[in-house]
């Protein structure tokens, strides 16, 4: 057998808590956060070249599955993370918003690439100048298009948010206000 590449495997870090022989105690929030952040199911909303980069990110070379996200969801019902990749024209805007609204809580949004984040080079009447005009965005990934490493970095940032989110956040007044700002009930 030829030389095998061995990389150091890293397990998910144990959250703070009380440990003893045969048991482990931690807060509900930390346990749920740990489970959520390591099994994010993304919904790819790929409309242009960033989508091609995303395909590379999903494929064997970069393999988003290493981070617990190999299961793409093409229905918003089972998705946790909406990945918007590519130019969103103003005609596409309501469609994107509808898909976002039909996702189950808790939901996160990752805006990949210059077009989704700000309209990019398409400073024209027909293109939405950033998806944050219609839906709240959690993490932006710059680049035109970004490399797969950058998309992975974006996902890791989302994982940080997911892991540290308070369980009460989605029921809070603050969050409701944020949604209302976008005209979402």
Min CB(136)–other proteins separation in Å? 13
Output 52 or 95, the one with its CB closest to other proteins.
95
CB atoms closer than 10 angstroms to residue 36: 18
The nearest distance, CB 146 to other proteins, in angstroms, is 24
Q: How far is CA 133 from CA 27, 33, 86, 97, 117, in A?
A: 36, 28, 15, 10, 10
Number of neighbouring beta carbons within 10 Å of residue 92? 18
CB of 75 to other proteins, least distance (A): 6
What H or E segment, with its residue span, contains residue 98? Answer: helix 93-101
Sign of CA dihedral 160, 166, 171, 174: negative
What is the nearest approach in angstroms of other proteins to the Cβ of residue 102? 6
Q: Applying CB under 8 A, which residues contact other proteins?
A: 32, 75-77, 94-99, 101-102, 104-106, 167, 170-171, 184-185
Smaller CB separation from other proteins, 43 or 155: 43
The residue (of 95 and 156) whose beta carbon lies closer to other proteins is 95
């Amino acid at each position: 057998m030829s030389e095998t590449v061995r990389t150091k495997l890293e397990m998910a870090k144990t959250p703070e808590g009380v440990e003893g022989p045969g048991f482990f105690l931690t807060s509900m929030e930390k346990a749920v956060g740990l489970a959520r952040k390591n099994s994010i199911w993304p919904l790819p909303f790929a409309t242009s070249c960033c989508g091609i980069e995303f395909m590379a990110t999903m494929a064997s070379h970069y393999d988003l599955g290493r981070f617990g996200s190999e299961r793409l969801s093409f229905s918003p019902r089972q998705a946790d993370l909406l990945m918007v990749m590519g130019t969103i024209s103003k005609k596409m805007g309501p469609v994107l918003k509808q898909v976002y609204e039909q996702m189950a809580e808790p939901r996160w949004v990752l805006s990949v690439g210059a077009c989704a984040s700000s309209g990019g080079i398409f400073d024209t009447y027909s293109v939405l100048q950033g998806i944050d005009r219609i839906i709240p965005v959690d993490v932006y990934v710059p680049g035109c298009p970004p490399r797969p490493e950058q998309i992975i970095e974006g996902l890791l940032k989302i994982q940080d948010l997911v892991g540290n989110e308070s369980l009460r956040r989605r029921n809070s007044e603050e969050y409701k206000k944020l949604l209302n700002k976008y005209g979402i009930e």
